[in-house]
Structure 1
Amino acid sequence: MEKWNILLITADDMEGTTPGAFGGHRDATPRLDRLAAEGMVFTRAHVAVAVCQPSRSAIMTGLWPHRNGAEGFEPIQDHIPVLTELLGGAGYRTAIFGKVNHLQPVPRFGWDRVVEMKQLGLGRDPRRYAEAFASFLDESADAPWFAMVNAHDPHRPFHGAADVEAMFGEAADVIPQPSRVFRADDAGPVPGYLPDLPDVRIEYAQYLSSARRCDDVVRAVLDELDAAGHADRTLVIFLSDNGMAFPFSKANCYLQSTLTPLIVRWPGVVTPASEWVGLTSMLDLFPTMCEVAGVEPGSVDGSSLVPILTGTEDTPEAATIVTVFHETAAKRRYEMRCIHARGFGYIWNGWADGSEEYVAENMLGLTWKAMQDRADSDDAVRQRVEFYRTRAVHELYDLAKDPSCLENLADDPAHKGSLRACQSALLAWMATTEDPLLGRFEATVSLPSGV
């Protein structure tokens, strides 16, 4: 039987609720919304860790960062199998387009075709993605293939931001305009975890414009897939590596930090316009792609989504999901663990000692500065700014009532039972996965004996 091709498309820093199909702006991502109508959407899918290289390393190994070695911007350990090794051994041709150095060590992946960011208009030119992908398809007519197409949008610098030229210099001239540019007055409300300030609205509009250019890349690639006649034999997966690069999102463990807009189109297998509302980990993608390709995944931390996609088994919804954080792009360590259980989100901040201050790339640009400037005259904003810098060891949120994670209930006696249940579940996970911070976590919680 002919093997399925696999096309894995990733966005860079696109929040899980940005596409229209996931409740976002109805004009932000028309091609992704069409892809969602052609496949299955996962409305509660989460990446393992909300920063790009470790998130991608987890996807390509099916293992937690502390088990594959890539907790931050480090290479995957040599003894850990990676997806392309397994697929290559099964006769697949493999290619990567953009974000090449965000999977380390690069030689381990054995890509048959490598297209760097600079060849793709700094990872933001739909035409160049289309040309490079079409060339790869021409070379792969006689073999199954796996292609990882990585858009560099909507990563900072956003379209229209003052720092585009500062970051890219003259090379910025090769970056095309998005097919739609948003303004502050037509971008819609800012996410609920951010204050509604003029500069925040401006920057959110810039972000949406960049998200639209990511959608343009998706459109260009899928058009080439159709033109080459490969669409009917190709499993298409789309997701983002983490939330958007704003305060309280990327490089954290909040709901919006790890929620990803997962879409799977599997022609003739997945029911179009279908939906899975259960908690889903992106560690599940590795065994899923292995099963589709007919290779054994080995020992991994995820479980195949094939039963959900095919509807062949009565798959129960997961009761809990864990996400983690270790290290920023600047290699600052902020150990965090999060568990979603019984409608609550619990975060343990292993770094929060009252004096250590959080600093990350999500504090660049207009939004964080606007929050700092307003803090002098707005007590609510001041409290948010101060909390973001130092946090609390324990955070607990009622995700049904407070999805933006604004009210920390960890010290509320009325929620003591929920706090203990989440802590007990996280403790069990840390023990099972041999989390090296288990002892430190145990020292900060007070649980009944035997838990």
Structure 2
Amino acid sequence: MKQSSTVIRLVSLIALMLINTTKVHANTTVAQSTNIENNSKPNIIFYLADDQDITDYGVYGNEKVHTPAIDKLAQEGMLFNRAFTAQAICAPSRTQLFTGKYPLKNGAFANHTPTKPDISSVTKQMRELGYQVVLAGKSHVKPASVYDWDQEWEPVPKEGVPRDYIPLENIERYFKSATKPFVMFITSKYPHGKYFDVKNPEVEDIKFHPFDSHLKSDKAYIKKRAGYYRSIAEDNTQIEHVLKMVDKYLTDNTLFIYSADHGVSGKFTVKDIGLNVPFVARWPRVIKPGSTSGQLIHYTDVLPTFMDIAGGKQDSSMDGKSFLPILEGNDAPIHQYVYGIRTNQNIINAHIFPSRMIRDKRYKYIRNFNALEVLDKNLTDNPNINVFIRQGAMKHKDEPFEELYDLDNDPFEQINLINDPQLQNVKQRLKTQLFSWMAEQGDILDERLGNLPIISAPLFKLDQNRPPLRTSVSKEHQNILKPEDYYVIEHWENKK
């Protein structure tokens, strides 16, 4: 009798354990499927910093900056060494992410200008594949008809810091309540200036490179860099908050990508310090922790990759290609070349000095279309236009018409090899491919000298001296350009 009672109790205990195990499994299953209708489709989060050099992360070799969140992200995922944007400036860089097209093709190749109104951006493309598309933070893109976010939250003021914060409360609320797969772009205002005011910075606290080593005794530069470093640390704090929320509320079927829209030290240029961007991806179910890739990838690849992940096919007009195979461990090339452009009109310090570049894994070719050495061939029969063509050439008087760099041996592009007799075949190959690409893009420039259109920049006019313009136009040259002097970009003039 005693033995029978013991057996009954044992059976009851086993049954209770099985029930509890089932409950735990059920709860785990519910937790794992929370926020997503179809668990095979991952959530996708893209965190974008603003104006940060690839050289200014611990994981990219700068031990003097505070970036533990990104360093840890790289340990848990994949670090890309050759990721690029085509333009080292805010709006044109972002439009590539959102459209899969280079700025010349999507139409926003000057800052503060709109994308062509007939383009289907990430909002429409991913919505058709069952995703919600969300922007949390800085926008800087237009028109709203192209970028019609399902949810959009602007940056929020925060005391004691120089820039607005990302909308952390909205992000957390969304993570907790989302009922279908989503793509969320979290777009920070950091470390873009205005920077923190760091008191009495030391030169030993700053890491220098060939492009700024001559400034080691410049106190103003050291103070500015110290403030920039402090702003990087503040952005790291924001990222830490986001990653904690991701790990708390979302499943491990979540792709998290970190990048920065361009480098501040190469802003407005086509140097790698401006165009080569940090790019780190974590996806626990897919990406091998601690992996790296040296393949060329580009911001135009981001949307095609997202569409590939979601089970769709990219639009044939897109310039990018999916790098999903690289994330999955197949580290094979997807591009032989990437491209970059510079448009110095419609910026605060507006002038005429457009450039184009092409780059493979080792070599880079640059064409500066209004270099001083070809100025005479660019002048027109219109003296008013010639005033500003001359000004642009003089502002960049030390930049040659053509540049060629061996990036394996000269990553900071200090030694121009354009006349090296052993590299003439490389030069010709890159130059031919660049002008072929420009024609495909519908570029307003081509290989001819003397073809230097002055674009109808809507905000910062070449012949005006109003704030915040810094061109210092002399009185005699103010308001001398007429509408017919400009090359009109139709969708800039008639934006909706």
| TM-score class, shorter | 0.7 to 0.9
Q: Which amino acid aligns with 1:207?
A: Y
Q: Which residue of 2 aligns with 1:370?
A: none
Q: Does 1:310 align with 2:331?
A: no
Q: Residues 175-194 of structure 1: CA distance to partner in whole angstroms, max 9, x if unpaired?
A: xxxxxx99333433223211
From 436, 443, 447, give the equivalent of 1:428. 436
Q: Describe the shift of the 1:310–1:342 C-alpha distance in structure 2 as closer, same or farther (beyond 3 A).
A: closer
Q: Which amino acid aligns with 1:241?
A: D
Q: Which residue of 1 aligns with 2:310?
A: 293
Q: Describe the shift of the 1:213–1:354 C-alpha distance in structure 2 as closer, same or farther (beyond 3 A).
A: farther
Larger radius of gyration: 2
Q: Does 1:216 align with 2:224?
A: no
Q: Which residue of 1 aligns with 2:446?
A: 438
Q: Which amino acid aligns with 2:224?
A: E
Q: Which residue of 2 aligns with 1:241?
A: 261
Q: Does 1:53 align with 2:91?
A: yes
Determine which structure has greater relative contact order: mean sequence separation of CA pairs < 8 Å that are 6+ residues apart, divided by chain length.
Answer: 1
Query: Does the CA contact (< 8 Å) of 1:158 and 1:206 recur in 2?
Result: yes
Q: Does 1:148 align with 2:185?
A: yes
Deviation at 1:238, TM superposition (A): 0.9
* In structure 2, distance between residues paired with 1:214 and 1:75: 28
Moved more, 252-261 or 87-96: 87-96
Query: Does the CA contact (< 8 Å) of 1:42 and 1:262 recur in 2?
Result: yes
Q: Which residue of 2 aligns with 1:82?
A: 121
Query: Does the CA contact (< 8 Å) of 2:355 and 2:367 recur in 1?
Result: yes
| Counterpart secondary structure, 1:84 | helix
TM-score w.r.t. length of structure 1 = 0.79
* In structure 1, distance between residues paired with 2:127 and 2:335: 32
- Identify unmatched segments of 5+ residues in structure 1: 162-180, 357-385, 445-451
Count of residues paired in the alignment: 388
* In structure 2, distance between residues paired with 1:93 and 1:120: 28
Query: Does the CA contact (< 8 Å) of 1:240 and 1:262 recur in 2?
Result: yes
Q: Residues 18-69 of structure 1: CA distance to partner in whole angstroms, max 9, x if unpaired?
A: 1111122254211000011111111011112111100000110011111111
Kindly report which structure 2 residues correspond to 1:291-370, keeping only aligned pairs within 5 A, or say none: 291-299=308-316, 300-311=318-329, 313=330, 315-316=332-333, 318-327=335-344, 329-330=347-348, 332-341=351-360, 343-353=362-372
Moved more, 147-156 or 196-205: 196-205
Q: Percent identity?
A: 28
Q: Describe the shift of the 1:342–1:5 C-alpha distance in structure 2 as closer, same or farther (beyond 3 A).
A: closer
Q: CA RMSD in A?
A: 2.7
Deviation at 1:5, TM superposition (A): 0.9
Q: Residues 378-434 of structure 1: CA distance to partner in whole angstroms, max 9, x if unpaired?
A: xxxxxxxx8855522111222122212122222444543432232123223223434
Q: Describe the shift of the 1:155–1:440 C-alpha distance in structure 2 as closer, same or farther (beyond 3 A).
A: farther
Q: Which amino acid aligns with 2:306?
A: M
Query: Does the CA contact (< 8 Å) of 2:53 and 2:273 recur in 1?
Result: yes
* In structure 2, distance between residues paired with 1:145 and 1:314: 27
Q: Residues 62-106 of structure 1: CA distance to partner in whole angstroms, max 9, x if unpaired?
A: 111111111112111111110011222333223212212x11113
Q: Describe the shift of the 1:30–1:351 C-alpha distance in structure 2 as closer, same or farther (beyond 3 A).
A: same
Query: Does the CA contact (< 8 Å) of 1:95 and 1:112 recur in 2?
Result: yes
Q: Which residue of 1 aligns with 2:492?
A: none
Q: Which amino acid aligns with 1:343?
A: R
* In structure 1, distance between residues paired with 2:162 and 2:183: 19
